Amino acid sequence: MEKLLEIKDVYAGAYDKDILKGLNLTINKGEVHVIMGPNGAGKSTLANVILNNPQYIKNSGDIIFDGENINNLKTNEIAQKGIFMSFQSPEEIPGISTLNFLKYAKNKISGEPVKSFKFKFLLKKYIDELNMNPKLVERNLNVGFSGGEKKKNEILQMLVLEPKLAILDETDSGLDVDAIRTVSKGINMYKNDDNAVLIITHNNKILENLHVDYVHVLVDGKIVKTGDASLATQIEKEGYEKFKKVEE
């Protein structure tokens, strides 16, 4: 197994708040990892800290991606190395069409010119597979998109950008049952033996159509339990009380 991402004993926070408190996680190429945990546990913070979002401060620990320490790289450099993160609440960006944004991002990430005809062809294929309205890509990025359309648009970005690691922060929340299935389909289309996915979720539904290798429970800034897909089912039935008690 070849290591793709290694998070070693990371402590991080925002302003004067400690959020991640000794977090360890290793993701190998080809794997699907899921992180679950109560609201406010630090899941989105973890995603942001991996991407070195300047709103967060890493106090100690190391993040190694594809054999390289990325602790001090800027967010755009980390994205260029091949880490993609979908936002829990995607922003509306007026002034750039979704199509042009995707083209621009693809160009920035790949460092190569994007051939319009080929790109549009590929985009059409993904839009069909994701049951999206083809007119959406002509509209300004996420502007006036429904909650579900925004989330599917994140999956479209992942497919177009072909990252080595995709971090999906609650991409399934607010989606109807059919859309959740479509999102899992998108993940399966993206997934291969060389890349990996880290799914942050509160729901089991998205996991039903995916092959999940590990489920981690994140409580109060640390991973307190790791298991297989059955751990997600257990959490659905029993909640997080038991894991919180482990902490005390």
- DSSP structure class, residue 153: H
Determine the interface stretch with ligand ATP among 1-9, 41-49, 145-153, 236-244 (rule: CB under 6 A): 41-49
Q: Interface mask (CB under 6 A) for ligand ATP, residues 76-95, using x and -?
A: ------------x-------
Q: At closest approach, how far in Å is the CB of 217 from ligand ATP?
A: 11
| 45 or 182: CB nearest ligand ATP | 45
3-state secondary structure 49-76: HHCCCCCCEEEEEEEEECCEECCCCCHH
For residue 105, report the phi and psi dihedrals to the nearest 5 degrees.
-65, -45
Q: Choose, by CB under 6 A, the member of 2, 9, 22, 40 that binds ligand ATP.
A: 40
The site that binds ligand ATP (CB under 6 A) totals a number of residues, namely 14
| 127 or 223: CB nearest ligand ATP | 223
Q: Interface mask (CB under 6 A) for ligand ATP, residues 102-141, using x and -?
A: ----------------------------------------
CA distances from 32 to 16, 29, 232 (A): 33, 9, 14
In terms of phi and psi (left: phi > 0; alpha: psi -120 to 50; beta: otherwise), the region of 9 is left
- Does 44 help bind Mg ion (rule: CB under 5 A)? yes
Distance CA(165)–CA(82), nearest Å, equals 6
